[in-house]
Amino acid sequence: MPSAHLSNTSQPSASHAIPHGIAAFVTGTDTEIGKTFIASALLARARMRGLSTLGLKPVASDCFESHDGLVNADALSLQAQCEPPADYESINPWRFAPAIAPHIAARQAGVSLEVAKISRHIRHQRERAPRDLTLIEGAGGWRVPLNDEEDFSDLAIALELPVILVVGLRLGCINHARLTLEAIERDGLEVAGYVINHLEADMEVSEDNMATLSRTLKAPCLGVVPWVRDDDLTDSRHAAERAASYLQLPCGLESRSQHGHYD
């Protein structure tokens, strides 16, 4: 697989510069394509190679009640890959119970989701607990709304981060992947790489689809993750660690991680 190294121009601007570590925004070609699974696997790879990690999912719907209040399964999966450990509130401060689009769930709850507020929270987490790799996961795809005026893509733009695109391998994924990549680049952001995630045990002409993706997506491929049975995903930490072996880290971290932490 080609190297996924980005120049310094893809890092946050001087006014928001973080003295240590690399961050990327994780989006997908659609909802339910394994975005959290792949983000967790990338964090697991970094963690197992001696790097510090942080996974953030600032906004989440489809939450459930726990002894600590509302929590989200995806956010818990990211939390399991944080090294050193991170508290849940820092990972997922905006959470809603209904399994519906976040901007609708927020409206029903009387909560305002704003790019400025969410980006401040993310920058604060990075500043107070710098990590070698921080991944910020959106919700659904690139143009999922946060409110009537702003989308999750606006959050990535405000953070000035390179983007990792998770491509769920299924019918229609070539079009979705190409359109999403075009939209990311049109928004002025660099694509750190894409990951192909198998969603079926035996998709017809999967090799042909992957070959087309490789030819048409002008970005580094960070890996191809085979299909994982639903019952194998019940232990999200173990599943992510297994998937990590199929991936390489973005933004030049793969080579740096071989030598441990860096200044």
Catalytic machinery residues: 57
Contact (CB, 8 A) for 185 and 211: no
Contact (CB, 8 A) for 138 and 38: no
> Which residue, 122, 136, 66, is CA-closest to 97?
66
Give the C-alpha separation, 191 to 25, whole Å: 9
Count of CB atoms situated within 10 Å of the CB of 81: 27
Q: Is 244 exposed, middle or buried (0-12, 13-18, 19+ CB in 10 A)?
A: buried
Contact (CB, 8 A) for 82 and 16: no
